[in-house]
Homo-oligomer: A and B are copies of this chain.
Amino acid sequence: MANPVVSPVVPSSGVRNPLGLSSVRLSPGFWGAPSAATIIDHCYEWMGRVGWIANFTDVPRQGREFSDSEVYKLMEAMAWAGDPRIDELTSIIAAAQESDGYLNTRWGHARYTDLEWGHELYCYGHLIQAGVARMRAYGEDRLAEVTRRAADHVCARFMEGTEVCGHPEIEMGLIELYRVTGAERYLEMARRFIERRGTPALADIELGRAYFQDDMPVRQAEVLRGHAVRALYLTSAVVDLAVETGDKELLATVERQWERTIARRTYLTGGMGSRHSGESFGDDFELPPDRAYNETCAGVASVMLAQRLLLATGDARYADLAERTLFNVVAAGPAQDGHSFFYTNPLQVRVAGEVLDGVSPRADGGLRAPWREVSCCPNNIARTYASLAAYVATADERGIQINQLAPGVISHDGLTLQVETDYPWSGEVTVRVAEAPETERRITVRRPSWAGGGTAEWEQRWQPGDVVRMELSMTPRWVRADPRVDAVRGCVAIERGPLVYCAESPGTSPLLEEVEVSTATPPVEDGHDLTVKARRIDSNGALDWPYGSSFEPTVGEDVELRLVPYFRWGNSGPATMRVWLPEA
């Protein structure tokens, strides 16, 4: 048997084959600061401090009902990173597993009594993903054993009946465990969980059954809805199921759901989930910049879904959306030092946030926090950064496809490519052949849709030292929204390469609520920042009532407005911010 592909998702078939961490090594670059190691260290330290690891031992329990999953997400990150602390964590969780495979710190004596909110199966899902990561990156060990026992327990307990978990996640885990072990019961269990959903399988709740995608069977849905992370995890598993069962109709259904979600329910940043209430997708075109929830984890989950669709179909649009989301949601999560994290990612912040240095009880707040009572995002970022190389390239029988532009070395089937680029700061990508086989191979580089789309392809017999290049124009671009996105009517945004920019105003200055930009003059580059011509306006009103027959603002002084890459905002303390700027 060939070496396993070291990647979170390794389908049995598909138009593209994933190249995992043993085939792709990233050089430090955009994704090296902060590094996965820094983020893992941060999470490990906080997880210990708040007691979520100790929950697996005999001490009073701390944290929310899903805190076990944070330990597992961190273990998955450690598995990808080869961090030896995974063994210590494995010993701790293994000791808490019961003789029949049950493993959960909260529900030890009242199992599965609250499937809507209990998160037990959700936690297994993350355990299984950690276990799969370990099996692929390292091989059989005690974590693999704990994982199989937990998965077998789930199959024994849930194969018959109609139950599902309120938070989809285990479905993805089980299918990946099937892929790594070949045991069909895991695929069948996942299939049943997926098909039961929406029949309905769960109780009605105040937020409505759409919250956990139990409002209709997945085959009938036309768009992603409800809690964004739940929807994206479930849909990722549905792609896995469609691929493993050869169900082309199901795959096409998911593609249509994704299309409508992208066309009508996605922010310019790639962010998903516009509502704070239920952390959920809004209606079509309900995309307010200020109240955008855009949970960091939904960005992570969207990249997971896009990767699966890319592998299944080979369609570059999925890599495009992944790129947008990686640079403008995932990369926005951690502070530049890797020690604080956004949970929500709005596109406008009117009131500068307060500095948070302890455990924040809240998801939002306008500034990154070191930790939160719900701290899914740092751990999700950790496992994503640690496995990022797996998203960079794929292969088919003709050669290698470079889907994400990042510096590093890619090796597959005798062909070794050295990718040199300062992307996203520069649009130059150089691919240098370091090793080549005797036969022809095709090198494909995705040309991002913002640069016109398509691919650059070169097919020949390669020699070491051969070089191919792609050059993308990094001229800043004014961007406007479909008028049905009512919330940003009359505004422009600015993109440069794959990066969305924003105006950031330190302190509590009201500048950003009384400014208009002029699009007559192009943005000027200043290092990684941009400046645009703008003018201050005075609304001349709103001292008593903000509505009247007309509000012709008085035009004030011209100003230069500095724009920073959106992912970088909030790194210099409290500030107001906006991506969409009124157009003069």
Contact = CB atoms under 8 A, between A and B. Distances in A.
A290 interface: yes
Interface in A264-298: 264, 266, 268, 275-277, 282-286, 288-291
Contacts of A142: none
Interface string A444-461: 000001000000000000
A549 B266 CA distance: 17
Contact of A480 (B288, B493, B537, B547): B547
B288 A551 contact: no
A486 interface: yes
Contacts of A283: 290, 350-351
B362 A206 contact: yes
Contacts of A286: 290-291, 350
A414 interface: no
A50 to B, nearest CB: 16
A60 interface: no
Contacts of A541: 482
- Interface centre among A282, A449, A480, by most chain B C-beta atoms within 10 angstroms, is A480
Contact of A481 (B259, B373, B513, B547): B547
A478 interface: yes
Contacts of A490: 489-490
B268 A547 contact: yes
Given A207-B362, A259-B544, 4 more contacts: A264-B542, A285-B350, A484-B513, A486-B582
A358 B439 CA distance: 71
Contact of A542 (B205, B263, B351, B542): B263
A548 B480 contact: yes
Contacts of A288: 288, 290-291, 487
A546 B551 CA distance: 29
Interface string A329-360: 00000000000000000001011000000000
A131 B478 CA distance: 63
A373 B513 CA distance: 39
B284 A484 contact: no
Given A484-B514, A489-B490, A479 B362 contact: no
A477 interface: yes
- Interface centre among A205, A481, A493, by most chain B C-beta atoms within 10 angstroms, is A481
A482 B546 contact: yes
Contacts of A551: 480-483
A483 B548 CA distance: 11
Contact of A489 (B268, B317, B479, B489): B489
Contacts of A548: 479-480
A269 to B, nearest CB: 10
Contacts of A491: 486, 489
B483 A537 contact: yes
A208 interface: yes
A322 to B, nearest CB: 14
Nearest to A279: B277
A539 B263 CA distance: 12
A1 interface: no
A203 to B, nearest CB: 10
Nearest to A348: B486
A345 to B, nearest CB: 16
A355 to B, nearest CB: 15
8 shortest A-B CB distances, which residue pairs? Answer: A482-B546, A276-B277, A490-B490, A482-B542, A489-B490, A283-B350, A283-B351, A288-B288
A262 interface: yes
Contact of A263 (B264, B290, B546): B546
A204 interface: yes
A553 interface: yes
Contact of A291 (B285, B291, B350, B449): B291
Contacts of A205: 361
B483 A539 contact: yes
Contacts of A2: none
Contacts of A480: 547-551
A491 B547 CA distance: 12
Contacts of A159: none
- Interface centre among A276, A486, A493, by most chain B C-beta atoms within 10 angstroms, is A486
A582 B483 contact: yes
B361 A204 contact: yes
A216 interface: no
Given A361-B206, A546-B481, A547-B479, A486 B259 contact: no
A485 B490 CA distance: 12
A288 B486 CA distance: 10
Nearest to A317: B544
A549 B478 contact: yes
Interface in A147-206: 204-206
A550 to B, nearest CB: 6
Contacts of A550: 480
B549 A479 contact: yes
A539 B489 contact: no
Contacts of A582: 483, 486, 489
